[in-house]
Structure formats: structure tokens, C-alpha cells
Amino acid sequence: MPLDLYANHLFNTPLITPLLRGISIVILKIAGWKARGEELGHQRFVLIGAPHTSNWDFPLMLMVVLKLRLRVFWMGKHTLFPFPFGWLMKWLGGIPIDRSASHNVVNETVRQYKKNNDLVVLIPPEGTRSKVEKWRSGFYHIANLAKVPILLGYVDASKKEAGFADFFTPTGDVDGDMKKIREFYAEKKGLRAENS
């Protein structure tokens, strides 16, 4: 996962990024969606996004991220990066993850945080669009080991809003912290409510 290769991607490409930001703002307005959150100066944290219930979550969050001027990398299944479209997905900030292989994604991501003063990695904790009872904890371990906070990103279709709420600082108590994080998302409704 050599992030050094991603010097230019969707969120920091001259001319293209401002153009796409403007388009995103217009589309969100027309669709009646509000982007919640503040523009952030120092960007060094793990960003999680939930509930993840539909393929439309991805373009929706891309538009919100563009509007709020975040520079984000995101993790996705390696099957989302097929030839000849893999380069496009990487330009969109994607990092292919092969879940069937025994790659040490947590340690490699922590290493990237140590190498980069500014780094935001978006990780969907549910790991799938289907309804799940137990979240994956990789995002938590990355934040805890890298000593960076977790920014709680969300979609709430019931209010037609998406964005970022509070920062959560891991304490090392995985079970207790995961319970508190899940409580924040308890009332949020995804685009497909049956999967929330």
C-alpha cells in the first residue's frame, strides 16, 4: 500500500479538484442533501463512515468530502480495482485491500501515518453494504496505534444529510470504545434503511 504513489489524486489535483468541488456542491443542493461539518486545517486522523448500506454511499460521501475540502484515501476490496479501471479507483483515493490474503493492513497503515504529517484514511467499519451486527475493528487499532483520533463520518437518509460529527480519541479499551462509537450511529439511517 505505497501511498507515496498517490501524490496527485482526486482531492488535490489542480483545476480538476475545484471543478469537481463546485459540481458536488450543485448536485448536493439539487438533490436536497446537506453536508454537515467544518473544513479542517490539519488533517491527520482516521475517518469512518456509516451506515454503509448502498452503492450510492460512495458518490454521496465523495461529494461531501469534496465540499468540506478533505484530502482522503479510502480502503476498498481489491475487486473494485480491476484492469483497466484500477488507475481510476486509485486516482479517486482508493487503496485496494485483499481480504483473502494475510497482509498486515493495520501495521502498514500505521507506518504511513508515521511517515506523513497529514493523512486521512476513510474506513467503512461495517465492511459490507449488508446489515451487520459486529463491526470490524481495524480502523480502531489503526487509530490507537498511530495515536490519531477517529472522525465520525455518517449518512442519515432520514434527514438527508451526510458529513462529519465529532472526533473520538481511542483509550485502548476496544470493547468500551466501540460501544460508545456504535451508540453515535444508533439512530442514523442509511440509504437502504433495511440494512442500517
What percent of the chain is modeled with pLDDT above 90?
45
Determine phi and psi for 109, rounding to 5 degrees.
-65, -40
Q: What is the 3-state secondary structure (H, E, C) of 39-82?
A: CCCCCEEEEEEECCCCCCHHHHHHHHHHHCCCCCEEEEEHHHCC
pLDDT computed for residue 134 by the predictor = 76
Residue 90 has pLDDT above 80, yes or no: yes
Q: Which amino acid is at 176?
A: G
Q: How far apart are CA 18 and CA 69, in angstroms?
A: 9
* φ/ψ of residue 176, rounded to 5: -65, -45
Which helix (H) or strand (E) segment is 29 a member of?
A: helix 16-31
pLDDT interval class at 184 (50, 70, 90): very high
List Cβ neighbours of 20 (8 Å cut-off, separation of 6 or more). 10, 66
At 111-136, the pLDDT tens digits run 889 888 889 999 888 655 455 567 88
Q: Write out the H or E segment, with its range, that includes residue 153.
A: strand 150-156
pLDDT at 34: 96
Q: Residue 170 pLDDT more than 80?
A: yes
pLDDT for position 103: 57
For residue 80, pLDDT over 50 is answered with yes
Select from 90, 113, 119, 96 the least CA-distant residue to 8. 90
Q: The whole model's pTM is what?
A: 0.85
| Residues 36-79: tens digit of each pLDDT | 999 898 899 999 988 877 888 888 988 999 999 999 998 777 88
* Euclidean distance between CA atoms 17 and 9, whole angstroms: 9
User: Angle at which helices 138-146 and 105-115 pack, to 10 degrees?
Assistant: 30
pLDDT band at 83 (very low <50, low <70, confident <90, very high): confident
Q: Would the pLDDT of 105 be above 90? A: no
Number of separate domains in the chain: 1
What is the residue range of 150's domain?
3-195
DSSP, res 116: -
For helices 57-67 and 16-31, angle between their N-to-C axes, nearest 10 degrees: 120
Residue 3 has pLDDT above 60, yes or no: no
Supply the pLDDT for residue 46.
97
Cα–Cα distance for residue pair 78/50, rounded to 1 Å: 20
pLDDT reported for residue 127: 55
Higher pLDDT, 147 or 75: 147
Average pLDDT, the chain: 86
